[in-house]
Chains A and B, each alone.
Chain A
């Protein structure tokens, strides 16, 4: 395996610090994800996996611990630097797609490049390429409300790859889809992993989906309780 893209060391996250209801959600999590790896993080709800995802996604800071993402120290980063890290290094895929309403597919895919300051011509070219990659080249000018759930998720995946991020962070990407379209979306992730060499972190509560990945990390009560290889 190549170099580590995600290096988490002794991550703690506590809420309401200093009050009687202080709550420790993450209790010393250490995790490394190598470049080109497809990893699943599994856990029941309340296990702390969403909190972990927020920290990996640079949306939140841990209370304690070290986090280096693709060679950048996330803990030391200021707020505007966190924005930059999210923009360049992370591609988010959400359960609820979160496409911008009343904005067509291609402009949704362009959006992260807009914040990266990519020139217009390049933006459009890249967005078209990515939409072709996810099989949405016929519907580039469609608005989100004109697309089915599976189509929306494919646009969202294209958007996640807009700035060639170090990792794709997918939070229950098939959670709102039926099994057939869910299967198509999973196939798309496998394609990105195998053909494009993307590093993918999949957060899910479904053991079947997790089995498809290379490595399964199980979280319970804020701790990693097991790590094993998957079928992928």
Chain B
């Protein structure tokens, strides 16, 4: 009964001083909103990344050559390029086709496919006045399997084309639209002229692949995401790409393990296998990381960011709490006569204390609720801007409410206690 009366009183005094209440609550609102927004966005990004990574295949293991080094640069797993500084990679540092062959001989029964790629660069397909930007990528046959790339017309490269590194290419549907006016029949078997580094190369189109629906994030869509390019990929046999690049080995490839193989354990075996071959190389080594390990690394990164933002948010909450304490002290000074009157009417100290603690809690919870609404709105809006779907986590809402209440109690106690201990005679006479 008393609690209900006190909440009613507290809401009245909030209503009576709207501007002041809002300014007081601002710290709490900002703190809670920041935490909720970041948690909402963070959860959305984490789950979206996890989804797309596992749709790329949970059984995938990514193998790459890296410099032997103390720094944990390679740990971040987001390393898709070959930007080794220090000693330049030389011929013998690459994973050779023979090594891959050897690997297949030993672990063939555990492997579904091997996907390797060799980026040649951004190019332009030209046909008269028609142009279409593409990124030219040399790939192994396993690449199509691992990245679930489907053929719309024509076919994949043949084994002979692969082995001999012939000048053949697979293009996306929109290239057909741009260059062949949408005529699939003319495209397959047709010739395209690709400008690469001011040189022109002719490729025969062996097939047209379906654009991925964005659900599975292939390497090229990552490249589009991070590199800002909007071009589609033009695939050529990896041997062809190596010849154009004057290289003969791989810096990285993806192994698609059989479903019954534990990818984490398999990645260790792969690493051991290749590092045995690399034991005499004092500059480079091979690292293998399963997709699930990469997802873990990713989730851990997101966690770190979330914790950091939550920490900043809690600083805002503490500052907000001090604001609440300040305004409670002001409020108590203003209402000294009221406190005196209540005491004269027989209110025990405990009732006065509870009254003001509840008022402080109400300020904090109202601020908290506004903050939660604001945070959810900002979080969902930011997530949809980033192209991921987000729903605010119920946990974080309840934690925030609990937290605002705790702030109300913590920062309301001192002023409330001060009010409770006022001498009724002095309080009644206070002008």
A120 at the interface (CB under 8 A from B): yes
**Docked-complex contact B16 and A92, CB < 8 angstroms:** no
- Choose among A100, A103, A116 the residue that contacts B346 (Cβ–Cβ < 8 A): A116
- Whether the pair A112, B346 counts as a contact (CB closer than 8 A) is yes
Q: Which residue of A lies closest to B347 (CB)?
A: A115
Determine if A63 is an interface residue (Cβ-Cβ < 8 Å): no
Quick check: is A94 within 8 A (CB to CB) of the other chain? yes
Contacts A86-B345, A86-B346, A114-B2; is A101 near B428 (CB within 8 Å)?
A: no
Does the CB pair B16–A102 fall under 8 Å? yes
Instruction: Judge if A87 is at the interface, Cβ distance under 8 Å.
Output: yes
Q: Are A83 and B428 in contact (CB under 8 A)?
A: no
Interface bits B322-361 vs A (CB < 8 Å: 1, else 0): 0000000000000001101111111111110000000000
CB-CB under 8 A from B425, the residues of chain A are 54, 59-60
CB pair B345–A102 under 8 Å, yes or no, is no
Which of B5, B341, B349 meets A98, CB within 8 Å?
A: B341
Q: Are A100 and B348 in contact (CB-based, < 8 A)?
A: no
Residues of chain A within 8 A (CB-CB) of B338 are 98, 100-101
Q: Which residues does chain B contribute within 8 Å of A100, judged by CB atoms?
A: 338, 341-342
Q: How far is the CB of B360 from chain A (nearest CB, A)?
A: 18
Give Cα A60–Cα B425 distance, bound, in whole angstroms. Answer: 8
Q: Which residue of B lies closest to A88 (CB)?
A: B346
Give the most central of A60, A101, A159: most B CB within 10 Å. A101
- The CA of A53 and the CA of B348, in the complex, are separated in Å by 20
Q: Which residue from chain A places its CB closest to the CB of B344 in the assembled complex?
A: A92
Say which residue of A79, A115, A117, A120 sits within 8 Å of B345 (CB atoms): A115
Whether B90 sits at the interface, judged by CB under 8 Å, is: no
Determine if A57 and B344 form an interchain contact, defined as CB atoms under 8 angstroms apart.
yes
Known: A98-B337, A100-B338, A100-B341. A115 touches B428 (CB 8 A): no
Q: Which of A63-101 contact B (CB under 8 A)?
A: 79-80, 83-88, 92, 94, 96, 98-101
How far is A120 from B8 in the complex, measured between Cα atoms in Å?
15
Chain B residue at minimal CB-CB distance from A92: B344
Number of A-B contacts (CB under 8 A): 68
Q: Does B12 contact A (CB under 8 A)?
A: yes
Say yes or no: B1 contacts A83, CB within 8 Å.
no
Residue of B nearest to A91 (CB): B345
Establish whether residues B345 and A59, one from each chain, have CB atoms under 8 Å apart when the complex forms.
no
Q: Check: B189 CB closer than 8 A to any chain A CB.
A: no
Per-residue A-contact encoding for B402-431, CB less than 8 Å = 1, 0 else: 000000000000000000000011001000
The verdict on B158 contacting chain A, using a C-beta distance below 8 Å, is: no
Residue from A84, A111, A120, A159 whose CB has the most chain B CB atoms within 10 Å? A111
Say yes or no: is B127 at the interface (Cβ < 8 Å to chain A): no
Pairwise interchain contact A79-B344, C-beta atoms closer than 8 A? no
A199: min CB distance to chain B, Å = 18
Given A94-B428, A100-B338, decide whether A80 and B345 contact each other with a Cβ distance below 8 A. no
* A83 in complex: contacting residue of B12, B337, B340, B347, CB < 8 Å: B347
| A92-B345 in contact given A98-B428, A114-B1, A114-B5 (Cβ < 8 Å) | yes
B346 in contact with A87 (CB, 8 Å):
yes
Chain B residues, Cβ within 8 Å of A102: 12-13, 16
Residues of B within 8 A of A59 (CB): 343-344, 424-425, 428
**Cβ-defined contact, B337 with A79, below 8 A:** no
A83 contacts B348, C-beta separation under 8 Å:
yes
Query: Do residues B346 and A80 form an inter-chain contact, with CB atoms below 8 A?
Result: no
Chain A: minimal CB distance from B7 (Å)? 13
Contact with B along A199-213 (1 / 0, CB 8 A): 000000000000000
CB pair B344 A86 closer than 8 Å: yes
Closest to A169 in B: B344
**Residues of B contacting A57 with CB < 8 Å?**
344
Q: How far is the CA of A99 from the CA of B9 in the complex (A)?
A: 14
Cβ–Cβ contact B428 & A111, under 8 A: no
Closest to B5 in A: A114
Known: A80-B349, A100-B338. A120 touches B1 (CB 8 A): yes
Residues on the A chain within 8 Å of B2, using CB: 114
Question: Smallest CB-CB separation from A120: which chain B residue?
Answer: B1
Closest to A117 in B: B1
The answer for the CA separation of A99 and B341 in the assembled complex, in Å, is: 8
Cβ A112 vs Cβ B345 within 8 A: yes
A59 to B346, CA, bound (A): 10
Checking B1, B345, B424 against A111 with a beta-carbon cut-off of 8 angstroms, the contacting residue is B345
B428 to chain A, nearest CB (A): 7
Q: Give every chain A residue within 8 A of B343 (Cβ-Cβ).
A: 59, 83, 86
Closest 3 CB pairs of A and B: A87-B346, A98-B341, A83-B348
Beyond the given pairs A54-B425, A57-B344, A102-B16, 18 more chain A to chain B contacts, judged by CB atoms under 8 angstroms and listed by A's residue number, are: A59-B344, A59-B424, A59-B425, A83-B346, A83-B348, A83-B349, A84-B346, A94-B341, A96-B337, A98-B344, A100-B338, A100-B342, A112-B345, A114-B1, A115-B345, A115-B347, A116-B346, A117-B1
Q: What are 24 A-B pairs at a CB distance below 8 A?
A: A59-B424, A59-B425, A80-B350, A85-B346, A86-B343, A86-B344, A86-B345, A87-B345, A87-B347, A94-B428, A98-B340, A98-B341, A98-B344, A99-B341, A100-B338, A100-B341, A100-B342, A102-B12, A102-B13, A103-B9, A112-B346, A114-B1, A115-B346, A120-B1
